[in-house]
Amino acid sequence: MSDPPGPLTRILESAAKALDQAIAGTEPRLKVQQYGTVRSIGHGIARVEGLLGAQSEELVQFEGNFPGMVLNIDPHGTGIICLDRNPHLNAGSRVYRTGSVLDVPVGTALLGRVLDPLGRPLDQGGELRTTERRPVEREAPAIMDREPVTVPLQTGIKVIDALIPIGRGQRELILGDRQTGKTAIALDTIINQADKDVVCVYCAIGQRGSSIAKVIADLRHYGAMGYTIVVVAEGDDPPGLQFVAPYAATSMGEFFMEQGRDVLIVYDDLTRHAIAYRELSLLLRRPPGREAFPGDIFYIHARLLERSTHLRKSLKGGSLTALPIIETEAQNISAYIPTNLISITDGQVYLSPLLFQKGIMPAVDVGKSVSRVGGKTQLNAYRAVAGDLRLTYSQFEELETFSRFGTRLDEATRRTLEHGKRVRESLKQIQYDAIPVVEQIAVLLAVNAGLLDALPVEQASPAEQAIRHAMREGSRELHARILSGAVFRQQDREDVLSSARRAIHRMIEKSFHGNA
């Protein structure tokens, strides 16, 4: 008599029976998978034969599960850009169609994370837990789906908020030579959104790893990573990855815009994006145009920036504000890429290396900077001071230039120059020192009224600090009126100026007793 089967035997018999039942109920089906063969390889591109039926911008997979994207469809082959480093790619490797377009994960799980343009984490935050993906290339909202830009986006930077205002849904270009503070302005703007319910996306394109690490460290230090997504394509990444980076970052931001949120996206910078696209185009043997850029270089940026807008209320009323950054060479803002982007955007903030060398920071050249939309979004209190301030500053810059040619100046010219020096001093601001709206209004109103003219120039900064401190402790009702955008009455102006006068008087007395 044989022994009864053991537990292991019973498990194996049960598994075998379940497997037989599964096989019996399954009908084999053929799965057709189209593939091509790599014929030649360039820096970040591959030429493929046999990939018939491939569509433009279709996602493909190289052997080893490395992604690529179709960019050229020629009679004798397909041009594909590589989206990842693939050391094993060589002639003869297979390339498989996926039948889908490149997409990225979206959702609130991305907040606080550092990702590459394919949505893969680059930080130590673990795997992303998202349920939704969106294509990186999407159509811009239709004209009838948009509303005028009406709400200001406060940067916390006096010279911008007062003279070159930005609205939510606007596209404001930041341009200037290398090392003039372009990223610093974008970073300060992100940090200033801490209590304003604005989601921020910082897209680094072609930057050095050390520069990106410093930006991320600053965002963490000032508590901005909690509402920020960082998308990174480093300078040593394939040019294809740098090319898709801003489109991927925009798709991540559009998710929040379509939920009714306000979003700020920074592209740092589109000069390197254009260079990466030029490199790909030349390797794929597309006809070169001006400065060797391909003919559609304008279109690749236009279709990106047109996705930034303010949606109408029936579409939840969200907004996507873009701050694209580009780098000029030798202050040449009439070069090909700068003029393209100036014509696409709604204004520009120009940073002058001459002002930077003089220690005037932020080095914003007010004469060459403009906001074509933001003035309509400005609070009434800003409007009460901004017009006179811009005129005074422009007159001062012109007179300062001519005054160098002679030493004999009439009294009126001398007063204008002295007043202008105080205005320029009041527009200086150190990085990471975001100034609230009410304090900005008080400082600018005081300097515009000439309250600082009697002080030495070196005392302008202490006087500003005294005025800011007085406003922080001032009337809550006045604060609420300014922030609500209500009409800035003459009485409000007098209240602010009287508070500023008292603050300056106390500062002078304190300084006098201290010196005594």
Q: What is the pLDDT of residues 205-223, one digit of tens each?
A: 999 999 999 999 999 999 9
- Confidence category of residue 191, pLDDT binned at 50, 70, 90: very high
CB 265 within 8 A of CB 169: no
Kindly tell me if the per-residue pLDDT of 405 is higher than 50: yes
Kindly tell me if the per-residue pLDDT of 415 is higher than 90: no
Q: What percent of the chain has pLDDT over 90?
A: 68
CA–CA separation, 478 and 430 (whole Å): 27
- The fold adopted by the segment(s) 35-100 is Elongation Factor Tu (Ef-tu); domain 3 (2.40.30)
Across the chain, what does the average pLDDT equal? 90
Superfamily of domain 104-378: P-loop containing nucleotide triphosphate hydrolases (3.40.50.300)
Lowest mean pLDDT among 1-5, 373-377, 438-442: 1-5
Neighbours of 7 (CB within 10 A): 7
Q: Indicate which residue of 39, 133, 303, 372 is catalytic.
A: 372
- Confidence category of residue 197, pLDDT binned at 50, 70, 90: very high
H or E element, residue 297? helix 297-305
**Does the annotation mark 489 as catalytic?**
no
Give the per-residue pLDDT at 509.
Answer: 85
CA–CA separation, 225 and 216 (whole Å): 8
Task: Please calculate the CA angle 304-307-309 and round it to the nearest 5 degrees.
Answer: 140
Kindly tell me if the per-residue pLDDT of 290 is higher than 60: yes
- Say if 104-378 and 381-515 have the same CATH topology: no
Kindly tell me if the per-residue pLDDT of 237 is higher than 60: yes
Tokens of 163: 């003279």
CB 434 within 8 A of CB 188: yes
Question: What does the pLDDT average to over 318-338?
Answer: 95
Amino acid making up residue 443:
V
- Confidence category of residue 402, pLDDT binned at 50, 70, 90: confident
Q: What percent of the chain has pLDDT over 70?
A: 96
CA–CA separation, 506 and 71 (whole Å): 67
Show me where the domains of the chain are located: 35-100, 104-378, 381-515
Kindly tell me if the per-residue pLDDT of 446 is higher than 70: yes
Please report, for residues 47, 75, 81, 337, 462, the alpha-carbon distance to residue 283 in angstroms, rounded to integers and kept in the order given.
10, 17, 10, 20, 57
Q: Sheet holding 347-351: strands in order across?
A: 114-115, 228-234, 198-207, 262-268, 319-327, 173-176, 347-351, 370-371
Helix (H, G, I), strand (E, B) or coil at 191: helix
Give the per-residue pLDDT at 52.
Answer: 85
Kindly tell me if the per-residue pLDDT of 515 is higher than 70: no
CB 189 within 8 A of CB 254: no
- Confidence category of residue 160, pLDDT binned at 50, 70, 90: very high
pLDDT digits (tens, 9 = 90+) for 478-491: 889 888 888 888 99
Please enumerate in sequence order all residues whose Cβ is within 8 A of that of 300, keeping only pairs 6 or more positions apart, or say none: 274, 277
CA–CA separation, 293 and 296 (whole Å): 8
CA 412 to chain centre: 44
- The fold adopted by the segment(s) 381-515 is Lysin (1.20.150)
Reference 169, options 373, 341, 370, 349; nearest CA is: 373
| Confidence (pTM) | 0.90
CA–CA separation, 300 and 274 (whole Å): 9
Give the per-residue pLDDT at 516.
Answer: 52
pLDDT digits (tens, 9 = 90+) for 82-130: 999 888 888 999 999 998 999 999 999 999 999 999 999 999 888 898 8
H or E element, residue 105? strand 103-106
Torsion on CA atoms 102, 108, 109, 115, rounded to nearest 10:
50
- Confidence category of residue 304, pLDDT binned at 50, 70, 90: very high
Helix, strand, coil shares of the chain, percent, nearest 5, are 45, 20, 35
Tokens of 340: 């393209």
Give the per-residue pLDDT at 1.
Answer: 47
